[in-house]
């Protein structure tokens, strides 16, 4: 399934990914500086949440596009059940 992001959707996903990128850079710097373990873990958890939110936004966009154009998300020869299993696997990969 090929996703097409437009306008606010694209901006939102990119902002979340950039935020996570900044947080991960912050974690690296904190570790290099020998910062407190609790602070490092807190920052790492924030980066993880930002990545999860970006992932869910990407999946939601894909589902929306599949619903508006049902044939679009299918792979050649794929049954509806196989497509559902693929989408479920995507959701679970973020859980």
Name which of 13-22, 24-33, 46-55, 63-72 the model is least confident about. 63-72
Q: pLDDT digits over 16-45, tens only?
A: 899 999 999 999 999 999 999 999 999 999
Model-level pTM? 0.67
> Looking at beta carbons, which pairs linking 54-61 to residues 24 or more positions away fall under 8 Å?
54/13, 54/16, 54/17, 54/20, 55/93, 55/94, 56/94, 57/9, 57/12, 57/13, 57/16, 58/3, 58/13, 59/87, 59/90, 59/91, 59/94, 61/3, 61/5, 61/9, 61/13
């Amino acid at each position: 399934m090929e996703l097409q992001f437009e306008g606010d959707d694209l901006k939102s996903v990119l902002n979340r990914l950039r935020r996570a990128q900044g947080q991960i850079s912050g974690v690296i710097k904190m570790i290099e500086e020998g910062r407190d373990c609790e602070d490092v873990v807190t920052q790492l958890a924030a980066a993880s949440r930002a990545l999860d939110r970006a992932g869910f936004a990407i999946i939601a966009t894909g589902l929306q596009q599949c619903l508006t154009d049902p044939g679009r998300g299918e792979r050649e020869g794929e049954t509806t059940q196989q497509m559902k299993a693929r989408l479920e696997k995507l959701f679970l990969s973020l859980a």
